[in-house]
Amino acid sequence: MTVPPELVGAWRRVGVTLGGRRLVDHCDVVWLQTPSWFADVRLRLAPGRAAPTADVPAWLYAEAAFGGVAAWSAPRMTWRHELDLDGSVPPGCNDLCFDAGVLVERGDTEVNGRPTPFREEWLRMSAADPTWSARRAGSALRVEVGRWAIELLDERPGGSFSAVRLESAGGEWREAGRLTG
């Protein structure tokens, strides 16, 4: 089933909890969701933040970029990665719900060989009913939601992978972050 309208939007991660413990976020994470397509770019925050402890899975703090198709079966969203920088963030199949205006994603991840609950908190950056578009052409994907866009391009083997986060200001797209690999 397509993603319901209340989940279509531009989202920024504002909190992460692992095993009941609130973590320091090491990346600025933006996720764009259309009724079918999604893109997610995680860019490292400024140096100087405390390093994550060894019991925090890399996908919660590492730079990453991926996109693909999402499917909804209440209360669960499944994200299938079609383009992915390095596979460091496992494709998700997690429960989503709203709590006091915050979109909460809940699931389990492995920590030291044991399933451990996690919670990611997302704030909407776009209007509640944003304009959106998504275009997939071969090894390229562009997802736009409101005034945000993410472009993914995978030219491997032989080339590179790039992810560009864009923001529209005054009708002109400006780069707001880039990740290559």
pLDDT tens digits for 55-81?
888 888 889 999 999 999 999 999 999
Q: How far apart are the first and last CA of the chain?
A: 33
Residue 48 confidence (pLDDT): 64
Same domain for 94 and 12: yes
Question: Domain limits at 31?
Answer: 5-124
Cis check for the bond before 52: say yes or no (omega within 30 of 0): no
Same domain for 111 and 37: yes
Same domain for 26 and 103: yes
Same domain for 85 and 17: yes
Cis check for the bond before 75: say yes or no (omega within 30 of 0): yes
Same domain for 172 and 151: yes
The CATH number linked to 93 is: 2.40.128.280
Residue 47 confidence (pLDDT): 66
Same domain for 60 and 16: yes
Q: What are phi and psi of 156, to 5 degrees?
A: -80, 155
Same domain for 114 and 138: no
Into how many domains does the chain fold? 2
Residue 178 confidence (pLDDT): 96
Same domain for 9 and 97: yes
Lookup result for tokens 């391009």? 153
Residue 52 confidence (pLDDT): 75
Stated pTM of the model: 0.94
Same domain for 153 and 71: no
Dihedral sign, Cα of residue 79, residue 83, residue 85, residue 86: positive
Same domain for 119 and 33: yes
Q: Which amino acid is at 167?
A: E
Q: Are 94 and 77 in contact (CB under 8 A)?
A: yes
Query: What parts of the chain have a pLDDT lower than 50?
Result: none
